[in-house]
Amino acid sequence: MLFTELILAIMKAVNRQRTISSPYHLIKGKKSGQTIQDIGYFGLYPYFGVLPKLDKKAYDGAVQSLFLQGYLLANDQVVDLSEKALDLDIEASPLNGWKYRGNENLFFSRLSLIVQTFSHFSQQANVFDPIVSNEEIQSWVKIYLNRIRFRDLTVAQRFKEELVITLTDTAVSETHKMIVMERLSGLGLSGMTWQQIAASKNLSVMDVQLMAVETLHGWMAVIERSKPPLLTGLMEGIIQQSSLTESAQRTEKLFERGFSLEQIASLRQLKSSTIEDHFVELAMNDPYFNYAPFVDAALFEAIIAESRRQKTKRLREIKEHLPEASYFQIRLALAIREEQG
């Protein structure tokens, strides 16, 4: 997936319902109530936080190119796609941003240092400058390597075999795989920079960075599924144990103890609107979330019906026809999973 295709994939989901900057916040992984609820509203889980260091100028430049290519129509208010964009087929991607939350970088840092260590020790070069400077990762890798008895050459061979087999089974292009491999370093071989890889493949830096994330997400999924003995160890602490943000988890615990929204806001010294964001997040992620304390069944059904009638999830348009519903109630109703409603 190219960077402009990522933007278009998000825009196709939110067409005429969100602003032109909404994909930018999603790609960076902004944890605002608006961004998190949009993930649930529009099924944008794969794209959350896949490029947390995304520069706004780079994003704006890509958007401008989409205008020039005729994919976007001029509209000061919302994303407005042309027929050309709506008809465009974008290939499925292994991206799983909501699940991994940027931890593909931790996985790759561990892998990079392990590969570098194997490369040096297998050729009796026992002293080297670690490619990863983070001391916490260095400490983790030392423990891992000692646990697997890395000085045994057969262990290094098995590690390489697992690496090759799982990466081969990862459903991305050879170009994708080469981008990741070219970032690795070994004895007498330095990993290439993003700029060098981009130039060698006639792609933009954003393209190769996104393709690297796709590869790592797909690769980690293969490792999770096939459970190779050595590589599985690298997945320690990678997968989020809860789909909720940490702050929403704290609100959830207080709610389970019987505290009301207002009491939780007071106890946590947060605005009520922030706690409302947490409840929307809870509703989005919990198929058994009890919305009854916040919105009665009749109003809930009315909100869902109005959303379907107008074919929109824009709060203002729904509220115009249901003035008795608060914005929080509308957001909550739209966040409830369809199978529950």
Digit-coded pLDDT (tens) for 146-174: 999 999 999 999 999 999 999 999 999 99
In a domain, 98, yes or no: no
Lowest mean pLDDT among 74-83, 204-213, 277-286: 277-286
Whether residues 120 and 44 share a domain: the answer is: no
- Which of 93, 122, 152 is the C-terminal boundary of a domain? 93
Question: Residue 195 belongs to what domain range?
Answer: 104-235
**Number of domains into which the chain is organized:** 3
Q: Name the pLDDT band for 338 (thresholds 50, 70, 90).
A: low
pLDDT interval class at 245 (50, 70, 90): confident
- pLDDT recorded at residue 339: 45
Termini Cα distance of the chain: 34
Give the CATH number, domain containing residue 250: 1.10.10
Q: Is 241 within the bounds of a domain? A: no
Max distance between CA atoms of the chain, in angstroms, equals 75
Q: Are residues 221 and 128 in the same domain?
A: yes
Q: How high is the pLDDT of residue 180?
A: 98
- Reply yes or no on whether the pLDDT at 286 is more than 80: yes
125 in the same domain as 230: yes
| Residue 136 shares a structural domain with residue 173 | yes
Is 175 part of a structural domain of the chain?
Answer: yes
Q: Which of 93, 126, 142 is at the close of a domain?
A: 93
Q: Is there a single domain that holds both residue 132 and residue 211?
A: yes
Residues 118 and 210 placed together within one structural domain of the fold: yes
Contact between 88 and 8 (Cβ < 8 Å): yes
Q: Which residues of 16-42 are buried (b: 16+ CB within 10 A; e: fewer)?
A: ebbebebbbbbbbbebebebbbbbbbb
Domain boundary (200, 235, 270) is at: 235
CB atoms closer than 10 angstroms to residue 298: 8
Q: Would residue 82 count as lying in a domain?
A: yes
- The answer to whether residue 280 is domain-embedded is yes
pLDDT above 70 covers what percent of the chain?
A: 98
Coil, strand or helix at 248: helix
Instruction: Say whether both 225 and 309 belong to one domain.
Output: no
Asked if 168 and 281 sit in the same domain, the reply is no
Q: Which residues contact 332 (CB under 8 A, 6 or more apart)?
A: 276, 279, 280, 283, 291, 294, 295
**For residue 240, is it within any domain?**
no
Residue 99 lies in a domain: no
Taking residues 282-293, what's their average pLDDT?
Answer: 88
Q: Answer yes or no: do 178 and 62 share one domain.
A: no
| Predicted confidence (pLDDT) per residue in 217-233, tens digit | 999 999 999 999 999 99
Condensed to tens digits (0 to 9), the pLDDT of residues 52-102 reads 999 999 999 999 999 999 999 999 999 999 999 999 999 999 999 999 999
Share of the chain above pLDDT 90, in %: 89
> Are residues 225 and 111 both part of a single domain?
yes
User: Do 125 and 185 have their domain in common?
Assistant: yes
Nearest Cα residue to 339 out of 288, 296, 297 = 288
Do 86 and 168 lie in a common domain?
no
33 in a structural domain: yes
Q: What does the pLDDT look like over 108-144, one tens digit per residue?
A: 999 999 999 999 999 999 899 999 999 999 999 999 9
Q: Which residues, 6 or more positions from 278, have their beta carbon under 8 angstroms from its beta carbon?
A: 247, 248, 251, 252
